[in-house]
Structure 1
Amino acid sequence: MKKKLILGVLLITVLLFTACGNDEGEEAAEISFGVTPWTSTVPPTEVASLIIQEMGYEVSYMETDAAGVYMGLAGDDNDIFMDGWIPAHEVYFETYEDEVESISISYDEAEQGWVVPEYMEDINSIEDILGNEELFNNEMYSIEDGASITEVIDELIEGYGLEMTQVNSSEAAMIAQVMRNMENEEPVVFYGWRPHTMFRNLDIKLIDDDRGYFEESSVHVVVDKKLQEKAPDVYAFLENWSIDIGDVEQMIVEIEDEGRDPEEVAQEWIDNNQEKVDEMINN
Structure 2
Amino acid sequence: MLTRRSTLLGAAGLALASMIAGGSADAAEKDVTIAYVEWSDAVVATNVIKTVLEDAGYNVKIVPLSGAAMWQAVATGEADAMVAAWLPATHQAYYEKLKDQVEDLGPNVSGAKIGWAVPTYVADVNSMEDLKDKASEFKGQVIGIDPGAGLMKASENAIKEYDLPLKLIEGSDATMVAALKDAYGKKEPIIVTTWTPHWMHSSFELKYLKDPKGVFGGEETVNTVVRKGLKEDDPKLYAILDNFALSLDQEQAVMLENEQPGANPAETAKKWVEANKATVDQWLK
**2:224–2:241: 8 Å Cα contact kept in structure 1?**
yes
Report the alpha carbon displacement of residue 272 of structure 1 after superposing the two structures with TM: 2.5
Q: Which residue of 2 aligns with 1:254?
A: 257
Which letter does structure 2 place at the counterpart of 1:117? P
Q: Which residue of 2 aligns with 1:60?
A: 61
Q: Which residue of 1 aligns with 2:193?
A: 191
Report the alpha carbon displacement of residue 156 of structure 1 after superposing the two structures with TM: 1.0
Q: Which residue of 2 aligns with 1:45?
A: 46
Report the alpha carbon displacement of residue 129 of structure 1 after superposing the two structures with TM: 0.8
Which residues in structure 2 correspond to 1:171-186 (within 5 Å)? 171-186=173-188
Report % sequence identity. 28
Report the alpha carbon displacement of residue 260 of structure 1 after superposing the two structures with TM: 2.8
CA distance in 2, matches of 1:94, 1:42: 24
Which letter does structure 1 place at the counterpart of 2:149? A
The higher radius of gyration belongs to: 1
Which letter does structure 1 place at the counterpart of 2:121? Y
Report the alpha carbon displacement of residue 185 of structure 1 after superposing the two structures with TM: 2.1
**2:46–2:62: 8 Å Cα contact kept in structure 1?**
no
- Correspondence for 2:168 among 166, 169, 176: 166
SS of 1:119's partner is coil
Query: RMSD of the TM alignment (CA)?
Result: 1.7
Report the alpha carbon displacement of residue 192 of structure 1 after superposing the two structures with TM: 1.1
CA distance in 2, matches of 1:234, 1:258: 34
Runs of 4+ more than 3 Å apart: none
Q: Which residue of 2 aligns with 1:241?
A: 244
Q: Which runs of 5+ in 2 are unaligned?
A: 1-26
- Correspondence for 1:269 among 252, 268, 272: 272
CA distance in 1, matches of 2:56, 2:201: 35
Q: Which residue of 2 aligns with 1:230?
A: 233
SS of 1:88's partner is coil
After TM superposition, the score normalised by the length of structure 1 is 0.86
- Correspondence for 2:223 among 183, 204, 220: 220
1:69-109 deviations in Å (ceiling 9; x for gaps) = 01111122211111111121121111111212220311111
Q: Which residue of 1 aligns with 2:98?
A: 96
Q: Which residue of 2 aligns with 1:108?
A: 110
Q: Which residue of 2 aligns with 1:20?
A: none
CA distance in 2, matches of 1:52, 1:259: 25
Q: Which residue of 2 aligns with 1:206?
A: 208
CA distance in 2, matches of 1:119, 1:138: 18
**1:106–1:220: 8 Å Cα contact kept in structure 2?**
yes
Aligned residues: 257
After TM superposition, the score normalised by the length of structure 2 is 0.85
Report the alpha carbon displacement of residue 28 of structure 1 after superposing the two structures with TM: 5.3
Q: 1:28 to 1:74 in 2, by over 3 A?
A: closer
Report the alpha carbon displacement of residue 145 of structure 1 after superposing the two structures with TM: 0.3
Q: Which residue of 2 aligns with 1:14?
A: none
Which residues in structure 2 correspond to 1:130-145 (within 5 Å)? 130-145=132-147
Is 2:143 the partner of 1:128?
A: no
